[in-house]
Amino acid sequence: MLESAYRAGRTGIQDRLILARAYLHLNRTEDSLAVLKDVLDSDKENPDANSLTGQILFKANKNEDALKYLEHAFRLKPDPVTASALGRVHYALGNVPKAKSYLTMALQQDVRDPSNSFLLGRIHLDRGSGAMAEKYLLMAQEAGLESVELHVLLGQAYLLLAKPIGPVMTNRIAAPPHAGDVVDGCVVLGRLPAASDQYKVCTRYCALYEGYQLLKADKEHPDGLFMVASGWFAAGNYELAAQHLNTLMAKEPPKPRTWELSARLLVATKDFDGLRKTLTAGKAAKAFDSRTVADFLCRAAAILRAEGQRDQAIALLKEAEQEQPTSETVLRSLAALYTATGGDKQACHYYARIVELFPDATDIDELRNALKVLQ
């Protein structure tokens, strides 16, 4: 309706702006830019024309040019749409503080646009702030955003917050569900032995729930498998954790996070031979450094020691010592175990090493006394 009048030169500025928007809806960006240029030739202080021009240039990855038009538009008319566009441009240019400032401003004026809170959530997640990421990502979800990427980022935020499973509670469920079913917004963890219709569940605010949302869309989604495996590991269901972890490892080459969860699972299930193999393979793949390997071996040794298997514990700690010869944790553990097993000569060696390496230890007097007694 407006095109012929525009070509005949019979349209005012507002009609030309409407025509520019119509072209945008038809993906005719060049025509839209031409009309907007015409508007700006007549009125370079028009905020809508400047804002629309900046938004088009941003979509065309002309960020520096877009920034000039958007900043000018915002000075003339500080509306939430322009603030949102400015936030995105600054984010694309790597200016995160300004991006946060403009996106927050846009969100304060208009909470209906979920893209603002979604990008803020991503920014906070990238900067290691899991709580703020969760806040903004949930705001985006409440504003109507639903996407695979949203579930990925929410799950990552929960893992960062050490929330593999949400708060656990008891629910009465009539129809018998399976572990992992989502009922009334909660993930079923298992039936309570005391009652046939009582089930232990966890709320949706956790990585386990987000993982199942991802697996609903794609049964082999790598992030979904990892989140679900992490959730079941935290819930103590090592069988389901191993099942999803094995599926993940068959799906893609193991990443550092996969190696680590696999090692934690082997420690928890007391598969120490499997742990040794995993640590060796993980170190060869550069997923583990010597410190991490020694830490896992110490965890395994602590379990063996608690079960009275001191010789096996010493064997693992000696392997840890090869990885980290000056680790205080390793040396103290070996000293204590050799003392307990009557290996005074070996205990003396390790106490002497501790005294030599850590002269500022808070219990240095006790360590020296222990060494003298053994000698």
* CA neighbor of 263 nearest in space, from 236, 290, 281, 251: 281
Architecture of the structural domain at 186-252: Alpha Horseshoe (1.25)
CATH 1.25.40.10 residue window(s) in the chain? 1-110, 253-375
The pLDDT assigned to 193 comes to 85
The pLDDT assigned to 174 comes to 84
d(CA 374, CA 344): 6
The pLDDT assigned to 194 comes to 76
The helix (run of H) or strand (run of E) holding residue 188 is: strand 186-191
Helices marked H in 9-46: 13-25, 29-42
d(CA 101, CA 268): 45
- Is there a contact between 213 and 227 (Cβ–Cβ < 8 Å)? no
The pTM of the full predicted model, rounded to 2 decimals, is 0.88
The upper half-sphere exposure of residue 160, i.e. CA atoms within 13 Å in the direction of its Cβ, equals 18
Does domain 1-110 fall under CATH 1.25.40.10? My reply is yes
The pLDDT assigned to 197 comes to 84
d(CA 177, CA 170): 14
* CA neighbor of 153 nearest in space, from 119, 185, 116, 122: 122
- E-assigned strands of 121-185? 168-172, 182-183
| 3-class secondary-structure state, position 193 | coil
d(CA 180, CA 208): 9
Low-confidence ranges of the chain (pLDDT < 50): none
Fold exhibited by the domain 253-375:
1.25.40
d(CA 117, CA 59): 19
The pLDDT assigned to 175 comes to 85
